[in-house]
Structure 1
Amino acid sequence: MNEHPLTLNAPDGHTITGTVFIPAEPAGILVISHGMAEHGDRYRALAEWLSQRDMVVVTFHHRGHGPGWPSESLGHYADQNGWARVVADLHRVVQHSRSQFPGLPLHLLGHSMGSFIAQSYAQKHGDSLATLILSATNRIDRGQLFASRALVGLIRLVRGKRHRSRLVTRMTFEQFNRQFRPNRTGSDWLSRDQEQVDRYISDPLCGFACTVGLWWDFIGGMLGISPSAWRKDLPVHLFSGTADPVGEMGRGVRQHFQTIREAGVQSVTLRLFEGGRHEMLNETNRYEVWEYLHSLCFAPDSSVTAAHPEMSPRTQAIID
């Protein structure tokens, strides 16, 4: 396996950084879109494991995440058009990856916040992808999202885009964690693996409060997601834990799965891992999850294109 730094320049002067893990005999590409208040380097162990199994893996840091950001910009996409910029950054990473490894199928894995960025990307650039894989995502509850954005918008108006709201933190990360009381830490909701939780807590580039500007952009981006506008022959795979509060303990993920099916997407699957919390890739059974992820990338239908209209719809839900 070879490992190379990734450095790409966005039109507005932002520098996208990350890492490319290259196996001896590449058979596919996996681009990873990470979650909120974390960074791409947290996926190194997974990337190394996959690269030993013929997968090129590209990890990178979304705007406002990862090393190099001043404290006032950590957890902030941009002062203007933040969501459009993070989706455009992902497009630049995908296009660069395709150019470096022409002819290989490219799979996109989005986790949590990154799953919604990935869905926005697929809605706009679905032809670039062989497979869309969504980890720890949730349904698009428009009523709740409109209410949340109204609150965030009010705080943003009064306190400014870069304000970090204690109220928003209580309503999100702290609310997620309260469902696992008595709590050992403030991040128990992430995983049953205490070592993984402690690594997250000790990482200075994890667990920070995001700005209301980011939350405004994020919620607005979620409201723009519409599976009916997706490429109908794009294979979509969802996986989550039944104890993930972001996915409403499996209920919200099930609803999103059903929405995607009803939108006419021909191949969509859901797998719920019993007892798993938010980060299934860092859970106590993570190697089982890694094997499952690997199987999705090399599944027979992961390269379905419009050239195969004869393929019948495939829908599946599995609960371990």
Structure 2
Amino acid sequence: MDLQESFINSPDHHRIPLLSWAPQTPTAVLVIAHGMAEHAARYQPLAQWLNQHQVAVIAVQHRGHGPHCPDADLGHYADKRGWQKVVDDLQQVVVHARKQYPDLPLTLFGHSMGSFIAQAFTQKYGDQIDNLILCATNRVDKPKLRASLVLVRSIKALRGKRHRSRLIDNMTFGTFNKAFVPNRTSHDWLSRDPQQVDRYLKDPLCGFSCTAGLWSDFIGGMLDINPRVWRKDLPVHLLAGSCDPVGEMGRGFSRHVTNLRAAGVKVASERLFEGARHELVNETNADEVWHHILNCLRPETHSVTE
């Protein structure tokens, strides 16, 4: 159950950092795609708990994130084809996980930004996984995203792809926090647990501004997501907090579930945790969330009380 760090090489010679936690006799494997402005090591408590239930965990450090990212690149995918590279990195990680555990069921777990990377992965490489969990996700609101993309691309054209825009930050994370005034911190929207929020704020690898280039890649990538072309037999599990502004306080999340079903996607489960905010695995009811994730991994063999 000790943390192990390794690297795999992408086709463009980028070294993809991986964090792994393995029990002695794993019966399932979970690949984690983390969110924006955070990093893979933050999932260690969940990973170690899953190890106790014979689940091996491998977490990828996305480009522009994590301790091996140069300061100048923090919050920036790549100068060209950033979204495609991040999605293809994830595919390299899944291939690696399959080689490590060839006979085990493999679940892909994506949190927030990672949930959209996971959806883009599923669209392109869906036959390579057995199960998909989308955590703290939201619908793809195309009219709103198209308008945002026009603004972001204008900023990128005027200030450069590596410009870090205060306006974009205020429109995103700043707007999320307004739902919780009076605010104790700038990131109250992350969790009801003040210790978790403070831990995030003290982490130099969390909470940084992302570049106009990353935002352009990210929004463009979301707009390309089309669940109608996904595998129709892939079980998809969705979970979110009812007080998560990213999921429009549950409304956008519920519409996402409806839209997926309308597209013919096999929605195996949906769960809205009452009162929970954005980082479900770091919430005051984290134990309940962790048990739910375990049930999503192996519903046919586990009867874990939620």
TM value normalised by structure 2: 0.97
Q: Give the distance between the partners of 1:264 and 1:227, measured in 2 at CA.
A: 8
2:140 aligns with: 140
2:201 aligns with: 201
Q: Please report how far the alpha carbon of residue 32 of structure 1 lies from its aligned counterpart in structure 2 after TM superposition.
A: 0.3
User: Does the 8 A contact of 2:51 with 2:57 survive in 1?
Assistant: yes
1:261 aligns with: 261
Q: Please report how far the alpha carbon of residue 12 of structure 1 lies from its aligned counterpart in structure 2 after TM superposition.
A: 1.2
1:25 aligns with: 25
The secondary structure found in structure 2 opposite 1:98 is helix
User: Does the 8 A contact of 2:5 with 2:17 survive in 1?
Assistant: yes
Q: Give the distance between the partners of 1:188 and 1:92, measured in 2 at CA.
A: 34
Cα distance per residue 1:9-39 (max 9 Å; x no partner): 1111211112111111110110000000000
Give the superposed CA RMSD: 1.3
User: Does the 8 A contact of 2:5 with 2:18 survive in 1?
Assistant: yes
1:166 aligns with: 166
User: Does the 8 A contact of 1:260 with 1:268 survive in 2?
Assistant: no
**1:213 aligned partner, one-letter code:** G
- Pairs within 5 Å for 1:292-311: 292-300=292-300
Q: Give the distance between the partners of 1:228 and 1:272, measured in 2 at CA.
A: 24
The secondary structure found in structure 2 opposite 1:79 is coil
**2:198 aligned partner, one-letter code:** D
Q: Give the distance between the partners of 1:139 and 1:101, measured in 2 at CA.
A: 33
User: Does the 8 A contact of 2:257 with 2:267 survive in 1?
Assistant: no
Q: Please report how far the alpha carbon of residue 267 of structure 1 lies from its aligned counterpart in structure 2 after TM superposition.
A: 3.7
- Pairs within 5 Å for 1:238-317: 238-300=238-300
Q: Please report how far the alpha carbon of residue 290 of structure 1 lies from its aligned counterpart in structure 2 after TM superposition.
A: 0.1
The secondary structure found in structure 1 opposite 2:73 is coil
**2:47 aligned partner, one-letter code:** A
User: Does the 8 A contact of 2:191 with 2:284 survive in 1?
Assistant: yes
Aligned length: 303
The secondary structure found in structure 2 opposite 1:237 is strand
**1:199 aligned partner, one-letter code:** R
User: Does the 8 A contact of 1:261 with 1:268 survive in 2?
Assistant: no
The secondary structure found in structure 2 opposite 1:8 is strand
User: Does the 8 A contact of 2:240 with 2:253 survive in 1?
Assistant: yes
1:121 aligns with: 121
Q: Please report how far the alpha carbon of residue 269 of structure 1 lies from its aligned counterpart in structure 2 after TM superposition.
A: 2.0
1:226 aligns with: 226
**2:93 aligned partner, one-letter code:** V
1:314 aligns with: none
Cα distance per residue 1:265-314 (max 9 Å; x no partner): 23432100000000011000001100000010011399xxxxxxxxxxxx
**2:149 aligned partner, one-letter code:** R
The runs of 5 or more residues in structure 1 that have no matched partner are 303-319
2:87 aligns with: 87
The secondary structure found in structure 2 opposite 1:210 is coil
Q: Please report how far the alpha carbon of residue 242 of structure 1 lies from its aligned counterpart in structure 2 after TM superposition.
A: 0.3
The secondary structure found in structure 2 opposite 1:32 is strand
2:179 aligns with: 179
**1:103 aligned partner, one-letter code:** D
Q: Give the distance between the partners of 2:17 and 2:107, measured in 1 at CA.
A: 19
2:151 aligns with: 151
**2:139 aligned partner, one-letter code:** R
**1:101 aligned partner, one-letter code:** Y
Q: Give the distance between the partners of 1:134 and 1:11, measured in 2 at CA.
A: 27
1:104 aligns with: 104
Q: Please report how far the alpha carbon of residue 5 of structure 1 lies from its aligned counterpart in structure 2 after TM superposition.
A: 1.7
Q: Please report how far the alpha carbon of residue 2 of structure 1 lies from its aligned counterpart in structure 2 after TM superposition.
A: 4.7
TM value normalised by structure 1: 0.93
2:75 aligns with: 75
**2:45 aligned partner, one-letter code:** A
2:64 aligns with: 64
User: Does residue 213 of the first structure (1) align with residue 213 of the second (2)?
Assistant: yes
User: Does the 8 A contact of 2:139 with 2:252 survive in 1?
Assistant: yes
After the TM superposition, which of the residue ranges 237-246 and 69-78 deviates more from structure 2? 69-78
The secondary structure found in structure 2 opposite 1:19 is strand
The secondary structure found in structure 1 opposite 2:163 is coil
User: Does residue 36 of the first structure (1) align with residue 40 of the second (2)?
Assistant: no
**1:77 aligned partner, one-letter code:** Y
**1:200 aligned partner, one-letter code:** Y
User: Does the 8 A contact of 1:132 with 1:236 survive in 2?
Assistant: yes
**1:75 aligned partner, one-letter code:** G
The secondary structure found in structure 1 opposite 2:272 is strand
User: Does the 8 A contact of 2:260 with 2:267 survive in 1?
Assistant: no
Q: Please report how far the alpha carbon of residue 151 of structure 1 lies from its aligned counterpart in structure 2 after TM superposition.
A: 0.1
